[in-house]
Amino acid sequence: MTITGHPLIEGEAEGTLLLLTAPICFWGGLDPLTGTISDPRHPQCGTHISDRIVAIPAIVGSSSSSQYLLEAMHHRKAPRAILLGEEDIIIATAVIVGREMDYPSFPIVHCAFDGLHDGARLRISVDGRIQILNTP
């Protein structure tokens, strides 16, 4: 099965999906040194996002989410890709800035989450297509 998304940041990635069940703010919500969700109010607090493809229903809250994502990129703790249920420029800009700083980039794709299951293996292509390789 393939989902067609709109690439905000183009790139390729393959990995295991972490499907967040609530919106997140990275200020206070992401520990950029460990790549862990750190907001005690978030249902998936304590989960690692680095090395995963993370589906986030919405980015809410602070303008400083950019700072936390850029710092995670700096420490190589960023996710392999981010899928966004709602378009957001605060975190997309962080990846654009990261490229200027020569940090490794990763794709951000705006898409519907229908058919996506936590733990699924996904492959993302440059044009924003998301291939579901297998579902747990």
Q: Give the start-end residues of each E strand in the chain.
A: 2-4, 6-9, 13-19, 30-31, 36-37, 53-56, 81-84, 108-110, 121-124, 129-134
Asked if 47 touches other proteins (CB under 8 A), the answer is no
Closest CA to 94 of 59, 129, 48, 130: 59
Which range in 12-20, 31-39, 76-84, 124-132 contacts other proteins by CB under 8 A? 31-39
CA distance 8 to 59: 14
Q: Catalytic annotation on 125?
A: no
Interface with other proteins, residue 48, by CB under 8 A: no
Binding segment toward other proteins, per CB under 8 A, in 35-43, 48-56, 116-124, 125-133: 35-43
| Start-end of H helices in the chain | 65-74, 90-100
For position 49 contacting other proteins by CB under 8 A, the verdict is no
Asked if 123 contacts 130 with a C-beta cutoff of 8 angstroms, the reply is yes
Considering only residues 60 to 99 of the shown chain, the ones binding other proteins according to CB under 8 A are: 60-68, 70-71, 73-74, 86-94, 96-97
Counting contacts by CB under 8 A, is residue 4 touching other proteins?
no
Active site residues: 62
Residues that bind other proteins (CB under 8 A): 8-9, 23, 25, 27-29, 32, 38-41, 58-68, 70-71, 73-74, 86-94, 96-97, 100-101, 103
